Amino acid sequence: MASDLILQLENVSKFFGPVIALSDVTLRLARGEVHCLLGDNGAGKSTLIKMLAGVYVPDAGQYLVDGAPVRFRSQREALDAGIATVYQDLALVPLMSVARNFFMGREPVRKLFGALPVMDHGLAERTAAAKLAEMGIRVRDAGQLVGNMSGGEKQCLAIARAIHFGAQVLILDEPTAALGVKQSVNVLTLIARARARGISVIFITHNVNHAYPIGDRFTLLNRGQSMGTHAKSAVSKEAVLDMMAGGAEMKTLMRDLDGVTI
């Protein structure tokens, strides 16, 4: 049973002084699923992400990877365990090239004249272009600056980079929040491709139209507590919308505004 779960948070809590950021939350991520994490601002999503990413250590409860308890002291340790987080800021530098960004911090090195270690720019550009193409992203030129790319392309680049460097678990923090319709579809397609490769995904979003088609299970956070996890087979889109922040308010709004549906 435990081996089906790649990542577990069992009854974890996190306190910041008097503030209870998370209280007795349980989240179980199955291997190869897309698990949507829903919740309004202040629900504790950020704290949960940072706990998974190794930034925070839970004050109570257990964090298990592959069924074994872990205690990450840094993001680097979580990364080494195959847990990669793509934050909203994406960790991309606009004035650096696609290839330089792709390999930032993990640059391929070759020996110049057999002695001097230099960055292998040729390999970096070829690999970055090939890996992005593999994920269905066409870069025009791996030497172009990231600042020239669209929001969706940047998001895809950050995800493809995480996958290339061996991520088994991808934590995506609102990857579609700032994107247009077509670009959002591209990112959702990429998430589906990642799942097809056996990668487990935690997908944080506000948008039920993005969460429902791609999600296998849904967990709702509200004011630092988990409101439970539901499989897609057990809930309708409307029920997910209800679970999401403002679901009830949206219903009231739709009743007031005649003929509006989501």
Partner 1 sequence: MTLPSPTAAAAPPASPAAPAGADERLRSVGAWRRLLGRPESGALSGAVLVFALFGFAAGGSGMFSAEGMVNWGTVAAFLGVIAVGAALLMVAGEFDLSIGSMIGFAGMLLAVPCLYWGWPVWLATLFALVMACALGALNGWLVVRTGLPSFIVTLAFYFVLRGLSLALSVMMTGKTILSSNGALVLADMVAADPVVHALFQGHVLTGLFDRLAHAGLIAARDDGTALAIGVPKVIVWWLALTAAGAFVLARMRIGNWILAVGGDPVAAKNVGIPVGRVKIALFMLTAVCAALFAVLQVADAGSAAADRGLQKEFEAIIAAVIGGCLLTGGYGSVIGAALGALIFGVVQIGIGYTSIDNNWYRVFLGGMLLVAVLFNNFVRRRVALGRR
Contact residues for partner 1, defined by CB under 8 A: 75-76, 79, 87, 89-96, 100, 103-107, 109, 112, 117-119, 121, 138, 140-141, 145, 147-148
At its nearest, how many Å lie between partner 1 and the CB of residue 138? 6
Q: In this complex, which beta carbon is closest to partner 1, that of residue 112 or of residue 192? A: 112
Q: In this complex, which beta carbon is closest to partner 1, that of residue 76 or of residue 126? A: 76
For 36, list phi and psi in degrees, rounded to 5.
Answer: -90, 135
The token pair at 2 is: 């435990």
Distance CA 24, CA 226 (A): 8
At its nearest, how many Å lie between partner 1 and the CB of residue 74? 9
Q: In this complex, which beta carbon is closest to partner 1, that of residue 161 or of residue 195? A: 161
At its nearest, how many Å lie between partner 1 and the CB of residue 107? 5
At its nearest, how many Å lie between partner 1 and the CB of residue 217? 27
As to burial, measured by CB atoms within 10 angstroms (0-12 exposed, 13-18 middle, 19+ buried), residue 197 is exposed
Q: In this complex, which beta carbon is closest to partner 1, that of residue 55 or of residue 245? A: 55
Distance CA 219, CA 225 (A): 11
Q: In this complex, which beta carbon is closest to partner 1, that of residue 93 or of residue 253? A: 93
Give yes or no for a contact between 57 and 13, defined as CB atoms under 8 angstroms apart. no
Distance CA 212, CA 214 (A): 6
At its nearest, how many Å lie between partner 1 and the CB of residue 109? 6
Q: In this complex, which beta carbon is closest to partner 1, that of residue 140 or of residue 223? A: 140
Reference 159, options 130, 184, 135, 143; nearest CA is: 135
Q: In this complex, which beta carbon is closest to partner 1, that of residue 76 or of residue 223? A: 76
Say which DSSP state 106 is in. Answer: S
CA distances from residue 256 to 238, 240, 243, 249 in whole angstroms, order as listed: 18, 21, 20, 11
At its nearest, how many Å lie between partner 1 and the CB of residue 147? 5
Give yes or no for a contact between 214 and 13, defined as CB atoms under 8 angstroms apart. no
Distance CA 95, CA 118 (A): 21
3-state secondary structure of 8: strand
At its nearest, how many Å lie between partner 1 and the CB of residue 102? 10
